[in-house]
Chains A and B, each alone.
Chain A
Amino acid sequence: MNVKSASKPLTRLQMAERLARDIPEGWYVNLGIGAPLQVADYVPLEREVVFHSENGVLGMGPAPAPHQIDRWLINAGKQYITLRSGASYMHHADSFALIRGGHLDLCVLGAFQVAENGDIANWSTSDNDSAPAVGGAMDLAAGARQLWVLMEHTTKTGESRLVRRCSYPLTALGTVKRVYTNLAVLDVIDEGFAVREMVDGLTLDSLQAVTDAPLRRSRT
């Protein structure tokens, strides 16, 4: 069945906005490069959430206006950024110590696949593509207190990204707690994926039809 005709999938910006609503004040958060970085644009400054960037910045602010660029100040995506009041710098070993030491409340990553046991695959789609590049993904996925994933529900060719077992090389085992897709918000619980909410017009059956892993309604 064609899910898109029966419902309105979220755009990428709407997905970021939806996820941003669930981040409470006071959390220390790392946003992975790519789509997750856009989440910061939807957390209002008056809700004090402290964003960390792996290259040694805690307290990252929004992108600068063109005339305000500081050419020494970038984020992990190598984009120019600003600092907000209260920000600090640290060297790389300290920056990853705060990740690996379990000090981040949340990390948001993109992914190719998430499995019903919480496994994540997000760094390599095969063994022989261009040179493998892992960056900080394995540290973040294993080290943050919670890992949420922001990704399209299916690939461009319609294959489910929520799977029983990942077929792509793993980034970390069993650490994903929640997934935000263009169709739904799902928790990863002991039994597998539990649907918290769906976009208007979708039913659990129609969502299941485009999802490889078995789904159930969230009890919370």
Chain B
Amino acid sequence: MINKIVQSMADAMAGIRDGSVVLVGGFGSIGQPNALIEGLIEQGAKDLTVVANNSGVGHLGLAKLLETGHVRKIVCSFPRTSDPVVFETLWREGRIELEVVPQGTMAERMRAAGAGIPAFYTATAVGTKLADGKEQREFAGRGYILEEALPGDVALVEAWEADRWGNLTYRSSARNFNPVMAAAAKLTIVQTQHIVELGALDPEKIATPGIYVSRVLHVPYGEPTVT
């Protein structure tokens, strides 16, 4: 019997190593798996590279992971939020490395990783300083730059519903990066608001098929309070 549901945070976080590339779902705080981030802090892996769209609000979730010194480098498109105090301080003091990536390029680099595509050409960022050092090539008279896939060792994902096979649905705009990251990592760990019986999810509504999911932890927390 396949059963990806784990009973404890310790089981969910088992085996995450120092130096891992960790993909963290969410856009701002919506769809950001804060319980798993807390679990990662507790688990203690250090020297992490975190890939996330933003850099955390206040001192919670992603911001707390940064503040507690677990992260060497962050890859993101928009390292600003309503309250980016932790990131801005670390960055100004030179205590965190930042790779700024256009949001669509970031999403596509992870999609490519999940689909076995090592690199792709895109028109985004051509002629800008984010194209520095990248191979440029013309197709049909238009310039493109080469961008490489961005695979994760670990993905932390927030779902709305999950079954024991790891099939997932998402809630509204909390879907965002979560399905893309789920497919792009070797170890995909999910926190879900609801666990349902196998067969209860409408196959038409499953946004992430269980093949991409390693572990599922039940974390019913209600609603996000900040964006």
Contact = CB atoms under 8 A, between A and B. Distances in A.
Contact of B78 (A73, A95, A135, A143): A135
A121 to B, nearest CB: 9
Main secondary structure of the interface of A (DSSP, over half): loop
B180 A170 contact: no
A56 B125 CA distance: 21
Contacts of A169: 128-129
Contact count band on B = 35 or more
A173 B136 CA distance: 14
Interface string B53-94: 101000000000000000000000111111010011001000
Given A74-B227, A136-B103, A138-B124, A56 B82 contact: no
B102 A139 contact: yes
Contact of B110 (A93, A131, A143, A171): A93
A170 B127 contact: yes
Interface string B120-154: 00111111111000000000000000000000000
A12 to B, nearest CB: 21
A72 B223 CA distance: 8
B155 interface: no
Main secondary structure of the interface of B (DSSP, over half): loop
B27 interface: yes
B173 A136 contact: no
A96 B84 CA distance: 25
Contacts of A76: 27
Given A131-B91, A172-B128, A91 B178 contact: yes
Q: Give the interface centre of A71, A76, A173 by most chain B CB atoms within 10 Å.
A: A71
A190 to B, nearest CB: 16
Nearest to A102: B123
A134 B78 contact: yes
Interface of A: 53-57, 70-74, 76, 78-80, 89-93, 95-97, 99-100, 119, 130-139, 142-143, 169-173
15 contacts: A72-B30, A72-B174, A73-B172, A73-B173, A76-B27, A78-B30, A91-B178, A93-B108, A96-B103, A99-B104, A100-B124, A135-B78, A137-B102, A143-B104, A169-B129
